[in-house]
Amino acid sequence: MTPLEIEEGAEFARRVAGAAIAGRERVFFEALDVDGIAERMAGAEAWRGLTERQKERLRSLVRERFAATLSPAETPPPAQARIAWSSARPAGEDTLLVDLGLRFGNKTLKTRWRVNRTRGGWRVVDVTLSDPGISLARAAARALGDSPPRRRDRGERAGAEVLPRLLGLAGIAAVVIFASPRLPRSRRPLLYLTASAPALLFAMDGALAVRRTLSEPYLLTDPPSREPWRHEQDLALAAQSAGRFEEAERRFRQAAARGAPPAPIAYQIGQTARQRGDLAAARSAFERALADPEPAPGAARDLALMALEKGESAQARGLLDQYLSESGPDPETLSLLAVVEAKLGHREASIETIEAARRMVEDAGGGARLEAQIRARAGDAEGTVAALRSLDAEGLIDRSELRADPAYLPIATDTAWVAFLAETPARPSVTPTARK
């Protein structure tokens, strides 16, 4: 793809993602390759044999699974929901991988959008939650469980449909035969008329059932409305958010026992164990999450953070490289990588990584702040001050906020940083409200 085509595909993905998180489901569904995803779920041969009614049931399943993950939980959607950053790279002649940070308030969801270029334009063929490694297309396929479309013996099935109706007709006939001789001749027509109504209904229902069976070469069983493990997972996430880590871990294990994908659950268990301070259990869970055939890439990033806390910069560098290769870049991880490179003495690589992180941030001011925080974490006070100079000249720096920001703690006593904080602002600080 040319750079122009890459940007065109990336802009398509940003627009569609923006519609999804803003609750504009119609725009999102029109861009989603629903038929392609449903066909891969059913299998190409089965898909061709399904009736339109059966195909629509699979399409509905696809739409429900994607909307349940990406549509906003609040109605109306929060105004602050937005695309925080993006990055795109080709993955084939007509396929583009677009990494997007979906910002909901103070939280950012890292996602990877696979979009294909077709004759009719760009189409979304899958969305992956990057850290747990959850493909929404695979999740929709998994929702079919043990009920994928399967070819059926239409004659046998037609017989199975007809038999209960025939039994019903036989029962009505038996009642008429039994009751008719016992009634006066004048009342028998009423008996026949009364019996004819349910008999006609049985006959019509049987005819329709046979017709439907003969017209549907494949049997498609309705999947469950919700996976049996999802309730336990929701309770586990709620407990984790509330700080009830032991309960969260117990419920995550129950979700795994009920059939939840193992790698994402191991990743969540690792995060829970790390939050409650059990680093050995966290490491074991993260390693399981990475060893699974469908791994959770976020576990590599958490292991890198644990290695960096122990001063093992080289190991952290390898784990961050692994994470970025599997799940794509994001400003926060690139920032961490730049710090690690600086600690290893790779100054040029650190500068290049900083620039890559800045290019992903939408606004220039945000990029300058990001660079300043990266340099501060690496202990580069002079570089931090240089990154903030442009913002200071525009009155976008509040020195009291800088003093309170924990990102600048590594350079808190450096003379260059202390001198910068003591300076009189070049222009009066502009508050966020005034900037808007």
pLDDT confidence of residue 387: 84
pLDDT confidence of residue 300: 96
pLDDT at 173 over 80: no
pLDDT tens digits, 371-410: 888 888 878 888 888 888 878 887 778 888 888 888 888 8
Lowest mean pLDDT among 70-74, 76-80, 261-265, 302-306: 76-80
Apex 82 CA angle, 248 and 125, nearest 5 = 80
pLDDT confidence of residue 433: 42
More confident residue, 343 or 284: 284
Look up residue 190 and give its two tokens.
Answer: 């009423």
- pLDDT classification of 434: cutoffs 50, 70, 90: very low
pLDDT confidence of residue 342: 87
pLDDT confidence of residue 81: 79
Identify the CA nearest to 359 among candidates 387, 329, 389: 329
Sheet of 134-135: strand order equals 82-90, 95-104, 107-118, 121-129, 134-135
What is the average pLDDT across 106-134? 93
- pLDDT classification of 262: cutoffs 50, 70, 90: very high
Whole-angstrom Cα distance, residue 298 to residue 327? 8
More confident residue, 340 or 190: 340
In a 3-state reduction of DSSP, which class is residue 113? strand
- pLDDT classification of 179: cutoffs 50, 70, 90: confident
CA distances from 283 to 272, 294, 300, 301 (A): 11, 18, 10, 12
Beta bridge pairs of residue 104:
107
Residue matched to tokens 């055939």: 293
pLDDT tens digits, 245-258: 999 999 999 999 98
pLDDT tens digits, 66-81: 988 887 766 556 666 7
pLDDT at 13 over 90: yes
More confident residue, 57 or 195: 57
More confident residue, 280 or 182: 280
pLDDT at 1 over 70: yes
pLDDT confidence of residue 68: 85
pLDDT confidence of residue 188: 72
- pLDDT classification of 432: cutoffs 50, 70, 90: very low
pLDDT confidence of residue 347: 85
- pLDDT classification of 435: cutoffs 50, 70, 90: very low
- pLDDT classification of 116: cutoffs 50, 70, 90: very high
pLDDT confidence of residue 200: 77
- Residues 6+ positions from 49 with CB-CB distance below 8 Å: 149, 151, 217, 218
Identify the CA nearest to 294 among candidates 330, 334, 267: 267
Q: What is the pTM of this model?
A: 0.76
Lowest mean pLDDT among 1-10, 278-287, 416-425: 416-425
- pLDDT classification of 155: cutoffs 50, 70, 90: low
Lowest mean pLDDT among 69-78, 298-307, 389-398, 417-426: 69-78
Measured from the Cβ of residue 11, the count of other Cβ atoms closer than 10 Å reads: 14
- Residues 6+ positions from 292 with CB-CB distance below 8 Å: 262, 263, 266
What is the average pLDDT across 190-206? 73
